Structures are given as structure tokens and as C-alpha cells.
Amino acid sequence: MPLPLYGVEGWPGQRRIGSYSGIGRAGRGDEDEEAALISVEVIYSHGEASITVTSHRQPGSGLGALQRWVSQNAIRTALWERADDESGQTAIGPEANRLQSAAQRDELPWQDVTIAVDGQPTAFQLCEMSDGWWVAAGRGQDADLTLDSRHVPAAGLALVRVTDLPAPVLRPHQHRPEPPARQFPADTGPVGDIPGHARIDLTFERSRLLSGSVGGQSVRLELNVPTHNGAAAGTIAGIPVSAAWVNGDNYRVYPDVPSDLTGSFAGQPVELHATFHLEPGYFFDRGTITGHIGAEALDATVEAAAPPTGLGGTRTVAADGTLGSTEFTIYATIDGPLTSGKLRGRVAGTPIRIDAARTHGPDGGQTRLTGSYQGPTALLALTAGALLHFI
């Protein structure tokens, strides 16, 4: 079913299609199968007033996820709009910091409002971010809707179906042309007892909080995944961590998709740049990652690998590289339904074995990572974050 677009009734100014995202599955012999849009923005502007109306394919999981999405996305957009043009860094003031922290912790004040959608009174949750700036989330008859408004009053606002703007068209996914040459390594036996200094036990919940322990030391990280423009902040094994990243949208940038991350680890600057090459049908083929974490250089190559027997997915990769003087080979795989995953390989000659299990729920569910790892904490943070982005 096509994703309907919505806009502001009687808008006097300009309007255009903004960003969009989609998802597709590998073909099963159906030549007419198409990738599906899951969200599309329609942006309205008139002088200093603007409002973005985003249609979302209904996931059936309540408004909590939508509220988090629209508030965090609006805050990130505002921060980048206020960036220092010379440094390229976001200018985060005390109020922006407060809003960002409150959004990540689900502590923003939401109120019930009614907005007409195609003439029908529809319940929305609205949050006043600052003077003249508010966001809202609601559930229409055939799409979930989020609003990000600057100087457009909510009182009297009415939304209507937009039929005269062309909806984005996504290219369909296809079968992988050839199976990858590398094979995910088979487990040689049961896990057995894991010593405390190597034990991993982490839980990612409510699509934002990663907590637990690494080698007996606590982890608490606000982590915004999955998203093209994300952020993380907190501590891992007592080490302060912060990061922001921008991933290219493979439906709009193809076949070489960029990804950039900046931040800090243990008070030292971090800068990573990656390019991922996609095969026809959007299947991942290979990629490179370069940059530094503090004074240690990171240099890695990534390529597609065949999934382990019985997992039944195409999301399997192998990464080889170095972080400083530490050599690593890490395999990662996720099953087709996105409910389980595995990390295997060696870091500085020591085996890595981490399993991921996802359970779904009304608040977004949770993913638990358990197993063993011995190696640089920074490499574990990157690896676990990448896995959580896809599962």
C-alpha cells in the first residue's frame, strides 16, 4: 500500500518533499516486488514560519517511539542549523543540552491536543520545545504523523492529504548476484565459563539506552539507533564516550554510501570516515573505514560474507584491520527477522564471541548482548554500536 503524504491545509508559502527512508526485501521471484517507503517529509516554509509534516508507515507500537523520533530529530536539526560555520561543530548551549538530555530520557512534557486530519478530529501529543517551536505526534487513519513546527501555531491547524506532489520512488531490492566468498566461522563448541574480565552483558532498551557491564565494569550509554543522523553519550567501562554520526541514505546516494563519525573517547578526539559499496539490489559488497581514536589510527576493510548455517539472513560481514597496534578480524551476522545476531573472530589473537537476542514490545523491546571479549574498549564500542544499528 502506498504511503500517503500529508500537508497543511491552505498553506500560502512554498512546499517540497524532504528526506525519506525505505526498506525492501530480496526478491522471491516476483518481478513486480518493490521497496516500500517507511517515512516521507513534506516541508512547508513561508518567511520565518516553517513546518515539516512526516508520514510514517504505521508500526503498531504506540506513540512513544514517534515522540522520541520527532523530538530527537528536531533537536539534532536545530543544533546543526546553529552550527559554527567556521568550525563546523554544533554550538550546544545549556538549553539545547537540557532538551537533548530530556528527549533521550523520555522526560519531555507532552500534552494532549486535537488536530484535524482530512476533516476528522485526531488526537496528537504535543511538546513545546521553546518559544514558537513545538513538535507533535499522532496516529491518522492510514499513516502515523509527526510535526516539527517553527512559528506556526497549533491552534486552528488542519492537515490534508497531499496528492499533487510526486512521492519518492525507491528502486526494488533484488537477489544477490553471487554468493560471497568468505564464510562466517562455525562455533567449535559451547561457550563454557567466561572469566569476569572478559564477560559481556549488555541490554539495549527503549531504542536509546545501553546498560550493563563489560569486564565487570559498568556501561551506561544513551545511544540513538537506528538513524541516519545519530548520537551517543555516556560511559563504557568507566570511560567517557560521546559521538555523532551521519550515514548516507543508500536510496539517495548509490552505489558508494558515505558514513562519518566524530566525537571523543576518554577525552581524546575521534574522527572516522567510511565508504560502503553496494551491489545491484542494494546488497552490501565491501567498504573501507579510516580515521583515528585518540592517537591510535584505525584502518579497516569490510566485505560481505556468507551467513552461518541455520541463521537464514543476508546481513553478514567480515571486517579486517588494525586499531593502533591491535590487529582484528571480526565477523558479524544478523538473521532475516532481525531477532538475533552473532559476533565472532579474533582481536589481538584472542577469540571474540558475542550473541545478540532481540525481543519486541510496546516500548520498542530490547536487545541483549552476552558473551566474551578481550581487547580495546573503543573497538568493542564501535562493533556493538554497529550491530545494534541493524538489529
Higher pLDDT, 236 or 249: 236
CA atoms lying within 13 Å on the CB side of residue 188: 5
Higher pLDDT, 173 or 320: 320
The mean pLDDT value for 357-364 works out to 72
Angle at CA of residue 342, ends 368 and 260, nearest 5°: 85
Checking if the pLDDT of 10 tops 60, the result is yes
pLDDT at 371: 95
Angle at CA of residue 136, ends 134 and 141, nearest 5°: 155
CB 287 within 8 A of CB 274: yes
pLDDT digits (tens, 9 = 90+) for 93-127: 566 667 766 776 678 899 999 999 999 999 999 99
Q: Is 24 exposed, middle or buried (0-12, 13-18, 19+ CB in 10 A)?
A: middle
pLDDT digits (tens, 9 = 90+) for 152-164: 999 999 999 999 9
Checking if the pLDDT of 339 tops 60, the result is yes
Higher pLDDT, 68 or 79: 68
CA atoms lying within 13 Å on the CB side of residue 304: 19
pLDDT at 311: 60
Residue with cell 559488497: 285
Give the strands of the sheet with 49-56, arranged side by side. 5-8, 158-162, 111-117, 120-130, 133-139, 144-150, 49-56, 36-46, 14-23
Angstrom CA distances, 180 to 99, 317, 318, stand at: 45, 9, 11
- Per-residue pLDDT band for 186 (boundaries 50, 70, 90) equals confident
Q: Give residues with Cβ within 8 angstroms of 224, minimum separation 6.
A: 72, 104, 207, 208, 230, 231, 232
Mean pLDDT of the residues in the chain: 83
Query: How far is it, in rounded angstroms, from Cα 391 to Cα 334?
Result: 7
| Residue 269, number of CB atoms within 10 A of its CB | 12
pLDDT digits (tens, 9 = 90+) for 187-203: 877 778 899 999 999 99
Checking if the pLDDT of 166 tops 70, the result is yes
The mean pLDDT value for 266-287 works out to 86
Query: How far is it, in rounded angstroms, from Cα 386 to Cα 377?
Result: 14
Strands 120-130 and 239-247 come out as unpaired
For the ranges 16-30, 84-98, 220-234, 242-256, the one whose mean pLDDT is highest: 220-234
What cell was used for 144? 502515523
CB 319 within 8 A of CB 386: no
pLDDT at 107: 81
User: Rounded to the nearest 10 degrees, how much is the dihedral formed by the CA atoms of 315, 321, 326, 327?
Assistant: 80
Query: How far is it, in rounded angstroms, from Cα 261 to Cα 293?
Result: 11
